[in-house]
Chain A
Amino acid sequence: MRESPNGARVHARVREFMSSKIFQGFASLVLILALWWAVTAAGLVNPLYLPSPAQVAGAFVEANNCHAISSGSSRIVCGEQQYFMWQHLLMSLERIGVGLAFAIIVGVLGGFGLAYAPWARRIFLPYINFIRALPPLGYIGLLIVWFGIGDTTKIWLLFLAAFPTIVLATIEGVDAVARDRVNSAYALGASKGQAFVHVVFPSSLPSIMNGIRLGVGFAWTTVVAAELNNGIPGIGALAYLSGTELNTPLTIACILVIGVAALLLDGLIVLITKLVTPWVGKE
């Protein structure tokens, strides 16, 4: 049977959809879930090691609702570790937010300072690189001794995770400003201060935004370490604790929540970057 022109058009549409980014991303997600489900449904792995998608979904729902402590019991518990999962997440987001805010302020100001003062750069840059190379778990004990087990330590840790990258990115951004751009500002009558505000700062903004983006990534990778001690409520602490209690479905649910939250935050930063530096990639 010959295909009608209409059929051909539908065909083309389908092919176009199949090659679209959204479809491909969605398809890969479905494929992974199916594979995961197949492996667990076939009983290939002990559910303790790898619970099924349904168990993880159940753990996620339970962690966000009140439920009987066991079937038939009249004792009701709400969420996990006395908090709903979204409260855990919110608390972690708050810590990351505060730590990052300090990291951005100190990182950008410090970066500009070091970029403009070569002597200060020679003095401080090695230590900033030193901190950047340290694994947070290595020095969290020290921070606890200094600042106690409260939120101060956690915020310090997140700050230390994010700020070196932002400093370096700011310095790099300033270093990369084309000499001609600044010189032309001077030749147009700009003072040093004006050249900084109107030329150097916007020129280095793409690099700074990139540094912030990387810094946020490091903050997320540090959040579990930050919440190891006295971290409840906190999504990182919940992930860790549930693991020690062999509640693997909840651990995986936490991991997924952390991952998705991180992706969303990253997407937000990418969006902001596009809004504040619309010229990037077009020159």
Chain B
Amino acid sequence: MVESMVVDKGQKLTWSEMTDKAQMEREGIAVDIQGVTKRFTTQQGDEVTALREVNLKIREHDFICVVGRSGCGKTTLLNMLAGFERPTEGRIIAAGVPVTKPSPRRGVVFQKPPLYPWLTVRKNVEFGMRMQGVPAKERNARAAHFLEVVGLADAGERHPYELSGGMQQRAQIARVLATDPDVILMDEPYGALDALTRERLQNELLRIWQEKRKTVFFITHSVEEALFLATRVIVMTAHPGTVKMDIPVDIPRDPTDPDNPRKVRENPRFQQLRDEITRAIYENSGDEERR
């Protein structure tokens, strides 16, 4: 891996931050969300608390799925993890360093793949490396590798708009993987896909996660998707957004087995957890959105 890609330039740490960083590394904590509160002022001038006092330690190689209904602040939380927004109170430490701005160490996968239509798929995958000054030869090789990983080896010279939604999402994932992030933040990446494609991509993601040993923070509103993917499910509730539940998932999974989705789904533990989490999401919110 290229050393320069994983170093945030120009960020100086204080002594206590240095010791914190050392401790986080010892404990294997990738991201530490410390008492994060986020307040917005709406256009009408009302103050809205999107998130209140969120505390969460994400361990390295965790696959975290955040579930919750719309408005529970999960996307706000992801935006702050990515560095797109700043917390009103509290702080987020990633790899021992306070998050103040976006960094290629924290890759972001958006629901609607923001691929650049003026670039071919391969050049899209090379984009991050190009921005970071990786030489063309290495860029090429790495892009080819990651296109292969997501099953798009033959689509490199096409343009994003020539791909289906599922293929676009694969291309986006390849583009994020190619910059070799420690943490991958995913905001409902499969929400807009049809059920069959979604299942295939979920399986693929599990395989990639196992192979590349990344830390994943994955937002979804589907409890089943969360249980299928996560090592840990975080349940959030709205008004204000808070973490309500933090459940480790202990269902055996084998993404190399084509029958894996069915096996996971039929596991009694899966169904038990699904009911428990669904209840937690809808509890005390008793209103029309209940399904």
Contacts and interface: CB of A to CB of B under 8 A. Distances in A.
B142 interface: no
Most buried by B among A188, A191, A282, A283: A188
**Number of chain B interface residues as a range:** 20 to 34
Contacts of A282: 117, 159, 161-162
Nearest to A195: B131
A48 interface: no
A202 B123 CA distance: 15
Nearest to A179: B84
Nearest to A180: B114
Given A181-B114, A283-B117, A188 B179 contact: yes
A184 interface: yes
Interface residues of A, number: 21
Contact of B159 (A181, A187, A279): A279
Nearest to B108: A187
Interface string B128-146: 1001100000000000000
Given A188-B131, A189-B131, A277 B104 contact: no
A282 B159 CA distance: 10
B110 interface: yes
A100 B252 CA distance: 67
A184 B127 CA distance: 10
B56 interface: no
B175 interface: yes
Given A181-B114, A198-B127, A187 B82 contact: yes
A217 to B, nearest CB: 26
B97 interface: no
B244 interface: no
A184 B128 CA distance: 9
B116 interface: yes
Interface of B: 5, 82-84, 101-104, 106-108, 110, 112, 114, 116-118, 127-128, 131-132, 159-162, 175-176, 179
Given A187-B103, A189-B104, A279-B159, 14 more contacts: A181-B114, A183-B102, A183-B110, A186-B83, A187-B83, A187-B107, A187-B108, A188-B131, A188-B175, A189-B131, A189-B179, A198-B131, A279-B118, A282-B162
